[in-house]
Amino acid sequence: MATLQLLGLRKSFGETHVLESIDLALASGEMLVIVGASGCGKSTLLRLVAGLERPTSGQILLDGRDITNVDPAQRDIAMVFQNYALYPHMSVFDNMAYGLRIRGLSKQEIGARVDVAADMLGLRPMLARKPRQLSGGQRQRVAMGRAIVREPKLFLFDEPLSNLDAKLRVQMRAEIRRLQRRLGVTSLYVTHDQVEAMTLGDRLLVLNQGRPAQLATPMEIYARPADLFVAGFIGAPAMNVLPAELVQGGTAARLESGEVVAFADGRRAGADGRKLIIGIRPEHVTLGGDLVLTIELVEPLGPETLVHGRLPDGQEMVVRLPGLPPGEENLSIALPADALHVFDAETGKRIEPIEQKALAPV
């Protein structure tokens, strides 16, 4: 097991700034998932750690050793690619053993390592097959096995499940997490899939246009998104966002439709008139309140239903309800105070309403 540190890492291609101010510290055995929209710099960050790209500035330390300018082969890192990157003319055994042969290990040591990995991944019956004789999931297992036999200090995963169908992705996601925990290898995992991110990571790094938007545990990010980008990116369907302004001494917000929603425990978010964005996740909206949602689309999903509609001011909302879809054209809903997220309308940053006594002069 090993630690990984990224210090002030930046990467530019000419005038295009791809990554800015990346500072990370991974504990030994931790799995950190890097998530963000396409083009945000996720794979570039992984390639910098792997040594396939050189940073414009900053340092990469693996177990305290500066590997910023070290050749990829000398970094003691194993990478699992999106497209598997298997040699088509080689058997499964030879694909897994190839890197060990290059390093000059004995046949006995190579055989022992491949046997252990093959048993771990259920590949023993397939060791003589060629990649073309394998399913997508089996090929991904071979790619993982090739990384495991190297016994590296660090695993890198570059969207390894993106080529698999939905059912197989769920299965492989669980296998990767179990395997990583069993081996205890420090790991960086890149994905654009938030379900993978939430279920695989000890912590998540959310990137927004090459900059860190938030670094925290999955549930911290879900419960307390740092800004509107994170709030909209993590969660499916995305968080509902409603323009508003502060009223009642800053203890409540008036929506554009005229309804007033109060903050929990009489907390205050600033002075009256301040422009806000109120956020609430679809699963936290409750029934029976004063807000009227005109239903436009109902998506029954079996155990739950997604209801899409509009408030009187035309603002779109999505509500997640348990059970069967409602039969009405309108839905009476409420926004519970303890489920509200408050963001500054200008900066998009999260605001934490605080107790009024904390704002009083000493």
Same CATH fold, 238-359 and 4-232? no
Query: DSSP class of residue 349?
Result: B
The number of residues in the chain equals: 362
Q: Give the whole-number percent of the chain exceeding pLDDT 70.
A: 98
Domain 4-232 has CATH 3.40.50.970: no
Domain range annotation of the chain: 4-232, 238-359
Tell me how crowded residue 295 is: count the other CB atoms within 10 A of its CB.
17
Residue 323 to residue 140: CA distance in whole angstroms: 37
Task: Give residue 357's pLDDT.
Answer: 59
On average, the pLDDT of the chain sits at: 91
Q: 356 falls in which pLDDT band (50, 70, 90)?
A: low
CA 39 remoteness from chain centre: 15
Q: Give the whole-number percent of the chain exceeding pLDDT 90.
A: 69
Q: 175 falls in which pLDDT band (50, 70, 90)?
A: confident
Nearest partner of 60 among 13, 18, 9, 1, judged by Cα? 9
The domain at 238-359 falls in which architecture? Beta Barrel (2.40)
Task: Give residue 170's pLDDT.
Answer: 87
- SS3 state of residue 169: helix
CA 9 remoteness from chain centre: 20
pTM, full prediction: 0.88
Q: What is the mean pLDDT of residues 248-259?
A: 91
